[in-house]
Amino acid sequence: MKKFILALLLSTSSLFSSSINIAVAANVSYAIDELKVEFSKLYPKIDVRVILGSSGKLTAQIKNGAPYGLFMSANMLYPETLYRTKFALLKPVVYAEGTLSFFTLKKYDFSKGLNLLKSNDIRRIAIANPKTAPYGKATVIALQNGGVYKSIKSKFIYGESISQTLSYTVRAADIGIVATSSLYSSRMKVYREGVHWSKIDLKLYTPIKQGIVLLKSETNMQEYKAFYEFILSKKAKSIFKKYGYII
């Protein structure tokens, strides 16, 4: 009995004194700090280390042995692939749905919708790379459904991730199509909806179902499960909603 109690105490204490590596899609970078703060209130001694990137590149890293125990993807395709190929323990589930918005530092008439992008005043449009970033793929679908893709694709400059796309929009493009979540970050609050940014019509694309999946890890499985369960909690969902996600 004493041995059992000792083992229980040791396992419990280990849950409160470990580091975990989380692979996180770039669009979540704006909400992840607040999520970590709330998680740390529950588990103050778990050090959550976040690795940000495009979902495609993070998936490639996982397949090549990167020591991540949990993956928060920008879509369901990548985590489903990891589950089918035995890199994940459980089937992925949706933790939030992401949306797209125009963003620009210039003055444009957002009432024109996607037709705005055909303007001669717009020479460079920043979008995420559709080959590696789910938000880039959703952008292409929206543009195709809106009937403007072929006429404007020569204007594209591609960010490797949706966060890089935001940087390109600010520094190198006339306008960008970015994750709505990025526009709710603290540094973007100076920009106003209707003036600097506007949501893209949801009729043109399906909101991006973002998946979370537990990966196979040789260490700290309890800690990874704790973070996984937190991301699916009401508290986490309220934070995602605050950053413009559909819950």
The reply to whether 158 and 227 lie within a common domain is no
The reply to whether 91 and 58 lie within a common domain is yes
Domain range for residue 21? 2-97+208-242
Residue 34 domain-assigned?
yes
Tell me how many domains the chain contains.
2
The reply to whether 107 and 92 lie within a common domain is no
The reply to whether 214 and 198 lie within a common domain is no
The reply to whether 35 and 76 lie within a common domain is yes
The reply to whether 173 and 195 lie within a common domain is yes
The reply to whether 10 and 30 lie within a common domain is yes
CA–CA distance, 30 with 20 (Å, rounded to integer): 20
Mean pLDDT on 136-154: 97
Question: Which of 10-19, 149-158, 220-229 is least confident?
Answer: 10-19
The reply to whether 79 and 112 lie within a common domain is no
Residue-wise pLDDT tens digits, 172-190:
999 999 999 999 988 888 9
Residue-wise pLDDT tens digits, 110-141:
999 999 999 999 999 999 999 888 899 999 99
The reply to whether 93 and 213 lie within a common domain is yes
The order of strands in the sheet holding 175-179 is: 156-159, 125-128, 175-179, 100-103, 197-199
Assign residue 126 the CATH number of its domain.
3.40.190.10
Report the pLDDT value the prediction gives residue 21, as an integer from 0 to 100: 97
The reply to whether 174 and 135 lie within a common domain is yes
The reply to whether 19 and 105 lie within a common domain is no
Q: What does the H/E/C string look like for the chain?
A: CHHHHHHHHHHHHHHCCEEEEEEEEHHHHHHHHHHHHHHHHHCCCEEEEEEEECHHHHHHHHHCCCCCCEEECCCCHHHHHHHHCCCECCCCEEEEEECEEEECCCCCCHHHHHHHHHCCCCCCEEEECCCCCHHHHHHHHHHHHCCCHHHHHHHEEEECCHHHHHHHHHHCCCEEEEEHHHHHCHHHCCCCECCCEEECCHHHCCCEEEEEEEECCCCCHHHHHHHHHHHCCHHHHHHHHHCCCEC
What is the gyration radius of the CA atoms in the chain, in angstroms? 20
Identify the band that residue 16 occupies on the pLDDT scale cut at 50, 70 and 90: low
Residue-wise pLDDT tens digits, 57-97:
999 999 999 999 999 999 999 999 999 999 999 999 999 99
Tokens representing residue 135 in the block: 């938000």
The reply to whether 107 and 199 lie within a common domain is yes
Residue 36 domain-assigned?
yes
Residue 247 domain-assigned?
no
Residue 113 domain-assigned?
yes
For the chain, give the mean pLDDT: 91
